[in-house]
Chain A
Amino acid sequence: MSLLEVHGLNSYYADSHILFDVGLHVERNEVVALIGRNGAGKSTTLKSLMGVVRPRSGQIVLDGVNVAGKASHAVAHAGMQLVHEDRRIFGSLNVEENLVLAGLTADNKWPLDRIYEMFPRLRERKGSRGTDLSGGEQQMLAIARALIRDPKIVLLDEPFEGLAPVIVRDLMKACRDLAAEGQTIVLVEQNLAATLALAQRVYIINNGHIVHEGRAADIKAQPEVLHRYLGV
């Protein structure tokens, strides 16, 4: 049985139908990417999985538990974490408070030292308020805040967006290390090269429909698919 199985997911923003019968599955220790054009429904899919957007219908089975329609805190307790596109760092709390807050209700949380080993920059800035961090540091903190809960699966929404290449390289390494340690990841990212380098399997979403699924290596070899759905 897959770690995450999604069947017939339909989500709306008010009366606008955004996701149409989305279905996907993610195996344990797998890195899966969800790619598509802007507005295709990638972020909405992740938000629907996390319960930030409540889907109107469908099943989201995480490790045997159906979390569809549940509140975000319940989904978090089931073992899922979403790193939001806009990071959503608590600016009035310092780095360590952000991390402590994230781990407050976790059953098995990472020790802070493990977080700081993965992101040494956060140790240096642990007393700094969230608003005083650079974009790259905020992204590290957003990922660290998700990891401290030792989630079964992490959803990363555009983790490299708007960051300097050197920061992207560091974050890519962190993601690779995580994957090597067996962390299951669902990745949404516009940077196609980075995405295909990290992911083992790829779903393409277009206008709220999953239109293609395949191994990342195969997708690279299918430029007509990338051109048709992504325009690249």
Chain B
Amino acid sequence: MINWPNFVSQLFNGLVLGALLALISSGLTIIYGTLGVLNLAHGAMFMLGGYAGYVAYTYTDSFILAVIAGSLFVMVAGVVMERVIIRHFYSRSDEDQLLVTFGIGIVMVEVVRFFFGSLSMNVPPPAALSGITSLGFMFYPTYRLALVGIIAVALLALFLVLYRTRIGMIVRAGIEDSVMVDSLGINVYRVFMVVFGIGAMAAGFAGIVNAPVVSLTPDMGDSILVQTFVVVVIGGVGSFPGAIIGGLIAGEIISITSMINPGYSYVMLFAAMTLVLVLRPHGLLGSQSRA
């Protein structure tokens, strides 16, 4: 039943989901914008971050160490994946790139299933952030509120790296024209490796910080992958601000529609994407450089 408290609660849920999608999509969009590779393993990396953090949590009982371990593990996995496999596909067709990243994603999922099984795992929130918080007009899970703040800090850190550092300047230039970056004496393949590592780390970080609000399963990255692709299209390929705006829009669409009829949440999401493509073919904040 739709009432005011339910609606506000769903708005908050949409904000949490939107922030999460924004973070994951940021990684996906800078990878595609810079390397030109559509990484279909990105959802699996999100899942991998959750599981790597789960393992770290199991051994240390520390949520902070779990977040660090989950993020770093996926970053290293991303760098290895780029060095060993992806770099051989830069000059290959889009179809080959899609197939190889799709295959890598399947391998990641099945390796996790082999070690952990298909049953769901749980990572509890840190004690200080467990329970519920009164917002005056409603009660809301404390960790979900904190999650918005945690992701906002992560997005701010990513923003500062991209817009206030030299490596960020190189990445932004690479998103526009990686050939020109190479012509200016900057080893663009090293840049690709760094970008892949940053993008993977963003997905891994999202996977572990989101773990306390979901159950970890090997397939959990599948639906997230679809949603993040929509976010990237809505926001504009290669656009970091676009990923944030697209993420928030997608999160609210899914959440609000679910309140009325969950079966239509994806319908509305794709309808929004279609509308954006019709009105702005390069996305809300995208450019033509990688279109």
- List A residues at the B interface (Cβ < 8 Å): 50, 52, 71-73, 76-77, 81-82, 84, 88, 90-93, 97, 100-102, 104-106, 145, 149
Contact with A along B159-195 (1 / 0, CB 8 A): 0000000100110110111011111111111000000
Q: Report if B287 contacts A (CB, 8 A).
A: yes
Cα distance A145–B186 in the bound complex, in angstroms: 13
Cα distance A102–B187 in the bound complex, in angstroms: 12
Given A84-B180, A90-B176, A91-B176: A101 touches B169 (CB 8 Å cut-off):
yes
Given A93-B173, A104-B170: A88 touches B180 (CB 8 Å cut-off):
yes
Shortest B20–chain A CB gap in Å is 26
Q: Contact between B184 and A102 (Cβ–Cβ < 8 Å)?
A: yes
Given A149-B184, A149-B185: A52 touches B169 (CB 8 Å cut-off):
no
Name A100's contact: one of B169, B176, B183 (CB within 8 Å). Answer: B169
Q: Contact between A92 and B179 (Cβ–Cβ < 8 Å)?
A: no
Cα distance A92–B287 in the bound complex, in angstroms: 10
Given A52-B179, A88-B180, A90-B177: A71 touches B187 (CB 8 Å cut-off):
yes
Q: Contact between B169 and A105 (Cβ–Cβ < 8 Å)?
A: no
Name A82's contact: one of B176, B183, B287 (CB within 8 Å). Answer: B183
Name B183's contact: one of A76, A92, A106 (CB within 8 Å). Answer: A76
What are 25 A-B contacts defined by CB distance under 8 Å? A52-B179, A71-B182, A71-B187, A72-B179, A72-B182, A73-B188, A84-B180, A84-B183, A88-B177, A88-B183, A90-B173, A90-B176, A92-B173, A92-B287, A93-B169, A93-B173, A97-B169, A100-B166, A100-B169, A101-B169, A101-B173, A101-B184, A102-B184, A106-B185, A149-B184
**Which residues on A sit within 8 Å (CB–CB) of B177?**
88, 90
Contact with A along B26-69 (1 / 0, CB 8 A): 00000000000000000000000000000000000000000000
Shortest B197–chain A CB gap in Å is 19
Name B184's contact: one of A76, A92, A97 (CB within 8 Å). Answer: A76
Q: How many residues of B contact A (CB 8 A)?
A: 20
**Which residues on B sit within 8 Å (CB–CB) of A71?**
182, 187-189
**Which residues on B sit within 8 Å (CB–CB) of A149?**
184-185
**Which residues on A sit within 8 Å (CB–CB) of B180?**
84, 88, 90
Cα distance A104–B185 in the bound complex, in angstroms: 8
Shortest B162–chain A CB gap in Å is 11
Cα distance A127–B115 in the bound complex, in angstroms: 54
Name A105's contact: one of B173, B185, B189, B287 (CB within 8 Å). Answer: B185
Cα distance A97–B175 in the bound complex, in angstroms: 15
Name A92's contact: one of B172, B185, B186, B187 (CB within 8 Å). Answer: B172
**Which residues on B sit within 8 Å (CB–CB) of A101?**
169-170, 173, 181, 184, 186
Name B185's contact: one of A52, A76, A84, A100 (CB within 8 Å). Answer: A76
Q: Contact between A92 and B176 (Cβ–Cβ < 8 Å)?
A: yes
Q: Contact between B287 and A91 (Cβ–Cβ < 8 Å)?
A: yes
**Which residues on B sit within 8 Å (CB–CB) of A102?**
184-185
**Which residues on B sit within 8 Å (CB–CB) of A97?**
169
